């Protein structure tokens, strides 16, 4: 079934344009509330948000929708996405909602939904909610309309939980950490967590004003953090994104450490301590071949999925794995969380740093990445990947890379773009392969236009 509103990570778009309007948010609240009203108990939804100006509008519209169908609402204010997932489960809520567009600019916003178990909704649940949104939704009787209240200790509960994931015999005393919170949802919780564990902090991206979330800061723009780490003499830098479900690390030299290196560190350290379950680490097709080879040397499988943390989590659950993530910095450690949690993953990195006594540059360079190149080809319409000429070029490229590299070609799920990625031991060969495929796609797209 083709979904009209839900993408791979909830509903997202430019604010005050379909689907991110107040009217649509109210319909989401009505439909999701009705869908999760099961049994005779008083039903509850918990709502968190990041720091976008539009969060006020979307939150109030959602509250109107939920209360109109008889669901009580607990509002936490700005709080990370993984905090909403954790609190939905711990507070026995029927539903959790995070208002955020993650790493997107402030003028976008989104709605992420979590079930009572703290996991993102299944495709079936999202399809049912979409169907309800386009139907006549039964409203509550006047005496059964829901109540809304704000809870101020949500951040404190989350900080306490996150600190409990850090090894109890360790402290961060003597460690200087540069922390970039992207002017987003973790601007309050992440600094408090690291400071309470003993770290000396240099903070940036902790002054949200409603329009500066992810603006030249955070995990998708780590240049400022790189400069701050070097200028301040920090031992390590941690960059979260707008809703704090992903992270990027910067070592003491200012070099960026991506999600693949973080997965390698956590996966191998957990394996040596007997903590790794499922026999492998789950990542997407975009993770570097160097990660796969390094894990294989340690007797650990790399299990690949489609792009998207929801697919990573589905595979982790199916195989019983407890470590997974994406090259972009989503880290899912299912012993602790039901979704990506940048702060929890950062604490695992810091624990390894403290225990090793090594500088971050030595510890976090777990493998040498093979050359990897990704290019996007925009097209006006049609299906260029189905053209025989494109298929022939792709087949030739696969033969060339056989045994020494990989090829990943996929259409974007949100825009008319074909993503062409190749990697291999020979960087020049990788470049030639990508350029040939992109040229073939462009030519086929013009012929179909």
- Per-residue pLDDT tens for 228-279? 999 999 999 999 999 999 999 999 999 999 999 999 999 999 999 999 999 9
pLDDT for 123 equals 87
Homologous superfamily (CATH) for 372-448: Alpha-D-phosphohexomutase, C-terminal domain (3.30.310.50)
What's the CA gap between 290 and 34, in Å, rounded?
A: 47
Which one from 54, 102, 328, 334 is the annotated catalytic residue? 102
| pLDDT tens readout for residues 367-395 | 999 999 999 998 887 788 999 999 999 99
pLDDT at 87 over 90: yes
pLDDT at 341 over 70: yes
Q: What is the DSSP letter of 385?
A: G
pLDDT for 381 equals 74
What's the CA gap between 181 and 364, in Å, rounded?
A: 21
Both tokens of 50, joined, read 């990041």
pLDDT at 196 over 70: yes
pLDDT at 2 over 70: no
| Equal fold, 11-152 vs 158-363 | yes
pLDDT at 397 over 90: yes
Q: Which residues, in sequence order, are bridge partners of residue 181?
A: none
Q: Which helix (H) or strand (E) holds 400?
A: helix 388-401
pLDDT at 425 over 90: yes
| Residue reference for tokens 């002017």 | 183
Of 108, 128, 174, 119, which Cα lies nearest the Cα of 34?
128
Averaged confidence pLDDT in the chain? 94
* Residue 407, SS3 per DSSP: strand
* Residue 304, SS3 per DSSP: strand
What's the CA gap between 50 and 166, in Å, rounded?
A: 25
pLDDT for 379 equals 87
The residue-averaged pLDDT of 53-67 equals 98
The residue-averaged pLDDT of 278-305 equals 96
What's the CA gap between 408 and 292, in Å, rounded?
A: 15
* Beta-carbon-side half-sphere exposure of residue 228 (alpha carbons within 13 Å): 23
- The CATH number assigned to the domain with range 11-152 reads 3.40.120.10
pLDDT for 413 equals 66
pLDDT at 1 over 70: no
* pTM (predicted TM-score): 0.91
pLDDT for 412 equals 78
pLDDT for 444 equals 87
Count of CB atoms situated within 10 Å of the CB of 138: 12
The confidence band for 6, taking pLDDT boundaries of 50, 70 and 90, is: confident
Find out whether the peptide bond into 206 is cis, omega within 30 degrees of 0. Answer: no
pLDDT for 7 equals 81
Phi and psi torsions of 88, nearest 5°: -60, -45
* Domain residue spans of the chain: 11-152, 158-363, 372-448
The residue-averaged pLDDT of 339-368 equals 96
Distances (CA, A) of 286 to 3, 154, 170, 261, 291: 25, 35, 34, 13, 11
DSSP string, 124-145: HHHHHHHHHHTS-PPPPPGGG-
DSSP string, 41-99: SPPEEEEEE-S-TTHHHHHHHHHHHHHHTT-EEEEEEE--HHHHHHHHHHTT-SEEEEE
The residue-averaged pLDDT of 404-427 equals 88
pLDDT for 57 equals 98
Both tokens of 448, joined, read 């179909």
pLDDT for 446 equals 83
- The CATH number assigned to the domain with range 158-363 reads 3.40.120.10
Alpha helix stretches (DSSP H) within 185-319: 189-196, 223-232, 259-272, 289-297, 309-319
pLDDT at 448 over 80: no
Whether 356 is catalytic is no
pLDDT at 39 over 90: no
pLDDT at 96 over 60: yes
Count of CB atoms situated within 10 Å of the CB of 25: 26
The residue-averaged pLDDT of 309-336 equals 95
């Amino acid at each position: 079934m083709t979904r009209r509103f839900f993408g791979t990570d909830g509903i997202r778009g430019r604010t005050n344009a379909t689907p991110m309007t107040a009217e649509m948010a109210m319909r989401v609240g009505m439909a999701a509330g009705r869908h999760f009203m099961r049994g005779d108990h008083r039903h509850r939804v918990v709502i968190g948000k990041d720091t976008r100006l539009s969060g006020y509008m979307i939150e109030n519209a959602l509250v109107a929708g939920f209360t109109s169908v008889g669901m009580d609402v607990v509002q936490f204010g700005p709080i990370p996405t993984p905090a909403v997932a954790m609190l939905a489960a711990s507070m026995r809520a029927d539903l959790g909602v995070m208002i955020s567009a993650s790493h997107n600019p402030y003028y976008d916003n989104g709605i992420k939904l979590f079930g009572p178990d703290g996991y993102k909704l299944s495709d079936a649940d999202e399809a049912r909610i979409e169907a309800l949104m386009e139907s006549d939704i039964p409203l509550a009787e006047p005496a059964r309309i829901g109540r809304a209240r704000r809870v101020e200790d949500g951040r404190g509960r989350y900080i306490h939980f996150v600190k409990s994931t850090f090894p109890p015999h360790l402290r961060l005393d003597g460690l200087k950490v540069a922390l970039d919170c992207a002017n987003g949802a973790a601007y309050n919780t992440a600094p408090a967590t690291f400071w309470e564990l003993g770290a000396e902090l240099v903070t940036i991206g902790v002054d949200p004003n409603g329009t500066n979330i992810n603006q030249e800061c955070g995990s998708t723009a780590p240049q400022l953090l790189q400069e701050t780490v070097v200028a301040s003499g920090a031992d390590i830098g941690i960059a979260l994104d707008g809703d704090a479900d992903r992270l990027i690390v910067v070592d003491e030299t200012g070099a960026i450490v991506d999600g693949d290196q973080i997965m390698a560190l956590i996966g191998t350290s957990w394996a040596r301590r007997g903590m790794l379950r499922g026999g492998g680490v789950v990542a997407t097709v975009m993770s570097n071949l160097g990660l796969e080879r390094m894990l294989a040397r340690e007797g650990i499988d790399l299990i690949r999925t489609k792009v998207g943390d929801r697919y990573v989590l589905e595979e982790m659950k199916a195989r019983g794995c407890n470590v997974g993530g994406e090259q972009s910095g989503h880290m899912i450690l299912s012993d602790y969380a039901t979704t990506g949690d940048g702060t929890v993953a950062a604490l695992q990195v810091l624990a390894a740093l403290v225990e090793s006594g090594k500088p971050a540059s030595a510890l976090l360079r777990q493998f040498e990445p093979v050359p990897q190149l990704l290019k996007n080809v925009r097209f006006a319409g049609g299906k260029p990947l189905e053209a025989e000429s494109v298929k022939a070029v792709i087949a030739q490229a696969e033969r060339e890379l056989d045994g020494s590299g990989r090829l990943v070609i996929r259409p974007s799920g949100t825009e008319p773009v074909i993503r062409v990625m190749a990697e291999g031991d020979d960087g020049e060969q990788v470049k030639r392969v990508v350029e040939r495929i992109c040229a073939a796609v462009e030519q086929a797209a013009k012929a179909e236009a």
